[in-house]
Amino acid sequence: MTAVLNVKDLYASFITPGLTVAALQGVSLSVAKGEILGLVGESGSGKTLTGFSINRLISPPGEVVGGQVMLHGEDVLTLSEEKMRKLRGRRIAMIFQDPMMTLNPVLRIETQMRDALRAHEKIGKAEARKRSIAALDEVGIPAPESRLRSYPHELSGGMRQRVAIAIALLHKPDVIIADEPTTALDVTIQGQILSLVQGLCRDRGTALIWITHDLAVVAGIADRLAVMYAGRVVEVGPVDDLLDAPAHPYTRGLIESVPARGQRGKRLNQIPGRMPSLADLPDGCSFAPRCEHATAACAALPDMEAFGPTRSVRCFHPLMERALWAMR
Amino acid sequence: MTEFIIKRVLQAMIVLFVMTVLVFFGVNVIGNPVYIFASSECDQACLTKTIAELGLDRPLWEQYFVFLGNLLQGHLGNSFTHGIPALSLIFERLPATLELAFCALALALGIGLPLGVWAGLRPDTFISRCIMAFSMIAFSLPVFWIGLIMILTFSVQLGWMPAIGRGDTVEVFGADLSLLTPDGLHHLAMPAFTLSLIMMAIVIRLTRAGMREVIFADYIKFARANGIRERRILSTHVMKNLLIPIVTVLGMEFGGVIAFAVVVESIFSWPGVGKMLIDAIGVLDRPLIVAYLIFVVFMFVVLNLLVDILYSLLDPRVRLGGNQT
């Protein structure tokens, strides 16, 4: 499969006078047409920052300091600001976490959709209206015509997220970056939004990067999974393989931290310690201080190594046995 | 909406009634105007006669009821000094004050908004710091001092600007406007700018604070992520959110600017209602003072109503007359 979007060795830092925090340290990932890539990690691992870096929307003092973001073979990091603007929303769209906050509270849905349309196309009011109605209809909003007149506060959370998705899909983008789009929603609504986005992306062949900390959500929607820890991708592979047989100790720790049925009364697993501060990372493997498998070798930084035909992992001591057992 | 307006009108009546009591009694216990404006030849008999003519010999409460009865018929009494209805005096002078106030408002918004937006976008630059320092100074320095210094600088020292007066006017819809003649504009510039300074400072500070908040909001990031042009984001997506607090505060402030343009009008001898009030107080022209104060109350009530309506237009989350507490 050819990648629509290929992020290579992305570095981003927060630069303030006297202190530079390297928040992304060589993130590489790729996503193919119609593929859904789950990007997981705990808070502060850099997953959201990765999403915003791809779109060049990190707010200062954050800054992309190195690497490439190849969209159809073109590095978006080298584009002029105006070319970048023309790309946003048209080729790379975003959906945000909190639907209460993503829509402008004082503008009608119609205005917001029309602005998004007119950002990239010269179209009249009537045409914009027609397109907006069609887009709202597509994301399952009942009576889209009257909804256009509404203000965001008149819609429920799920409806707002549907509107945001409709806006993201307006220009049939190649890639959608969805930053925890279901986290703020009720569980039942979550399910609806998940299957909606999944269906729409499949139909159009849109590549989707789904950023989340919720493994249950990615398990249900993603094709592949990338796990981030302290500004680096530590494991990538097909979602089922990764969840069944994690190779990186951190991935396993994440999976085991999810409370499961049938374990009532037992003590929940947790990863000891906490993620190191980005300002003060250990030289070697950044997970080593919390890792039960760590050895002297872990004082050096492991590279991303192939692990089987479809996976790769950044670890000197990948959890072989279980993985091999799972591969059989 | 209709229900809301009716409610507000009823409230306004009560406010107006209370004000008539306060104002009337307040003004009528100070001094005796007859002693001030009676000519020096007027002897005691003449004085008594004048007092009786004006009805000032009657008990205060009786005077009040006469006043109230006249008020209900739309008469606010005749000015002692001018001999014509106080209300028509006010309306004669009002256009000058309104012109001054609206020009000040336009200056405050026209200069304050861009400066505030700039300071909000680039808060750490030298220019932004200068803008904020300017707003601080404009807010804190007394208006009369600024007015006098401006006259000293631009009229006395440099001789660029006329120090006082209104200049040429043209009549538009029965009201004299100096805005439309070069000479009038020349005369208008300094007083309007002086009067606008406090509002301008408020606009700058509110705009900057609002910018700092709004430009980091998710909906602005989302707008950017959709590729919407920066100019459109600023002019619509950011601005509409910014204007909400500005309209609220400025609406309140604006009533005060019209009502108490007194200081600026006195300094620049601007022939508006403020100047008229000062003159009226000087000669204890009771009906004129009372009429003016009641007019001011009325204007505040109307302005507040307008602000509420405008506010609901700007912020769809606000519903007028709803059950919100």
Residue range B187-203, pLDDT digits in tens? 888 889 999 999 999 99
SS3 B317: coil
Residue B176 host element (H or E):
strand B175-177
Backbone angles phi, psi at B172, to 5 degrees: -125, 120
In the 8-state DSSP scheme, what is residue A245? S
A168 inside 8 A of chain B by CB: yes
Per the CB < 8 Å rule, is A104 touching B227?
Answer: no
* pLDDT of B324 higher than 50: no
Token pair recorded at residue A213: 């900390």
Query: In chain B, which residues have their Cβ closer than 8 Å to the Cβ of A83?
Result: none
**Could you tell me if A114 and A132 are in contact, meaning their C-beta atoms sit under 8 angstroms apart?**
yes
B227 inside 8 A of chain A by CB: yes
A153 inside 8 A of chain B by CB: yes
Q: Among A53, A95, A115, which would you mutate to test the B interface (most chain B Cβ atoms within 10 Å of its Cβ)?
A: A115
**Could you tell me if A32 and A4 are in contact, meaning their C-beta atoms sit under 8 angstroms apart?**
yes
Distance between CA atoms of A279 and A231, rounded to whole angstroms?
A: 11
In order of A203, A224, B89, B178, the CA distances from B226 in angstroms are: 21, 26, 58, 47
Backbone angles phi, psi at A232, to 5 degrees: -135, 150
Distance between CA atoms of B300 and B258, rounded to whole angstroms?
A: 10
Q: Which residue has the higher pLDDT, B55 or B156?
A: B156
**Could you tell me if A39 and A228 are in contact, meaning their C-beta atoms sit under 8 angstroms apart?**
yes
Tokens 């042009």 appear where? B229
pLDDT tens by residue, B216-226: 888 998 999 99
Compare all CA atoms of chain B with the CA of A88 and give the residue at the minimum distance: B227
Q: What is the pLDDT of residue B209?
A: 92
* pLDDT of B323 higher than 50: no
CATH dotted code for A3-101+173-327: 3.40.50.300
* pLDDT of B82 higher than 80: no
Q: What is the pLDDT of residue B67?
A: 81
Q: What is the ipTM of this complex?
A: 0.86
B221 inside 8 A of chain A by CB: yes
Q: Where are the beta strands (DSSP E) in chain A?
A: 3-16, 19-32, 36-40, 62-71, 74-75, 92-95, 175-179, 207-212, 224-229, 232-238, 305-307, 311-313
Give me the residues paired with residue B12 across strands.
Answer: none
What is the amino acid identity at position B182? P
Residues of chain A with pLDDT under 70: 1, 261-264, 321-328
A111 inside 8 A of chain B by CB: yes
Backbone angles phi, psi at B163, to 5 degrees: -80, -40
Q: What is the pLDDT of residue A321?
A: 59
**Could you tell me if A178 and A208 are in contact, meaning their C-beta atoms sit under 8 angstroms apart?**
yes
Nearest-neighbour CA in chain A from B240: distance (Å): 7
Distance between CA atoms of B293 and B243, rounded to whole angstroms?
A: 30
In the 8-state DSSP scheme, what is residue A116? H
**Could you tell me if B80 and B28 are in contact, meaning their C-beta atoms sit under 8 angstroms apart?**
no
CA dihedral sign, ordered A271, A318, A22, A102: negative
Query: In chain A, which residues have their Cβ closer than 8 Å to the Cβ of B219?
Result: 101-105
B223 inside 8 A of chain A by CB: yes
Residues in B 134-163 with any Cβ partner in A closer than 8 A: none
Query: In chain B, which residues have their Cβ closer than 8 Å to the Cβ of A97?
Result: 218
**Could you tell me if A165 and A200 are in contact, meaning their C-beta atoms sit under 8 angstroms apart?**
yes
Nearest-neighbour CA in chain B from A164: distance (Å): 9
Compare all CA atoms of chain B with the CA of A53 and give the residue at the minimum distance: B225
Q: What is the pLDDT of residue A263?
A: 65
Using pLDDT thresholds of 50, 70 and 90, give the confidence band for residue B325. Answer: very low
A87 inside 8 A of chain B by CB: yes
pLDDT tens by residue, A30-77: 898 888 999 998 888 888 889 899 989 888 788 888 888 888 888 888
* pLDDT of B146 higher than 80: yes
Q: What is the pLDDT of residue B200?
A: 93
B324 inside 8 A of chain A by CB: no
Q: What is the pLDDT of residue A184?
A: 76
What is the amino acid identity at position B277? L
Token pair recorded at residue B42: 């007027």
B225, B241, B244 ranked by CB distance to A89: nearest: B225
Distance between CA atoms of A26 and A314, rounded to whole angstroms?
A: 12
Q: In whole angstroms, how large is the CA radius of gyration of chain A?
A: 21
* pLDDT of B113 higher than 70: yes
Mean pLDDT, residues B297-317 taken together: 82
User: Under 8 Å CB-to-CB from A3, ≥6 apart: which residues?
Assistant: A30, A31, A32, A70
Domains of chain B (ranges; CATH) run 2-72 (no CATH), 95-271 (1.10.3720.10)
Angle subtended at Cα B119 by Cα B118 and Cα B124, rounded to the nearest 5 degrees: 125
In order of A41, A161, A225, A227, A240, the CA distances from A214 in angstroms are: 9, 18, 12, 12, 15
Distance between CA atoms of A210 and A272, rounded to whole angstroms?
A: 27
What is the amino acid identity at position A77? L
A131 inside 8 A of chain B by CB: no
Compare all CA atoms of chain B with the CA of A153 and give the residue at the minimum distance: B317
**Could you tell me if A182 and A194 are in contact, meaning their C-beta atoms sit under 8 angstroms apart?**
yes
Q: What is the pLDDT of residue B41?
A: 73
Which of A40-72 are b and which e, b meaning 16 or more Cβ less than 10 Å from the residue's Cβ?
bbbebbbbbbbbbbbbbbbeeebbbeebebbbe
Crossing angle of the two packed helices B126-140 and B182-214, in degrees rounded to 10: 120
Average pLDDT of chain B is: 83
Compare all CA atoms of chain A with the CA of B218 and give the residue at the minimum distance: A102
A139 inside 8 A of chain B by CB: no
**Could you tell me if A108 and A178 are in contact, meaning their C-beta atoms sit under 8 angstroms apart?**
no
User: Under 8 Å CB-to-CB from A217, ≥6 apart: which residues?
Assistant: A38, A182, A190, A194, A210
Token pair recorded at residue A39: 């990007």
Token pair recorded at residue A52: 């915003």
User: Under 8 Å CB-to-CB from A121, ≥6 apart: which residues?
Assistant: A171
B41 inside 8 A of chain A by CB: no
Per the CB < 8 Å rule, is B225 touching A57?
Answer: yes
pLDDT tens by residue, B273-283: 888 888 888 88
Give me the residues paired with residue A30 across strands.
Answer: A6
Per the CB < 8 Å rule, is B222 touching A103?
Answer: yes
**Could you tell me if A4 and A174 are in contact, meaning their C-beta atoms sit under 8 angstroms apart?**
yes
Helices (H), B122-181: 126-140, 143-150
Per the CB < 8 Å rule, is B225 touching A94?
Answer: yes
Token pair recorded at residue B71: 């008020």
B82 inside 8 A of chain A by CB: no
Nearest-neighbour CA in chain B from A36: distance (Å): 20
DSSP letters spanning B34-59: HHHHS-TT--HHHHHHHHHHHTTTS-
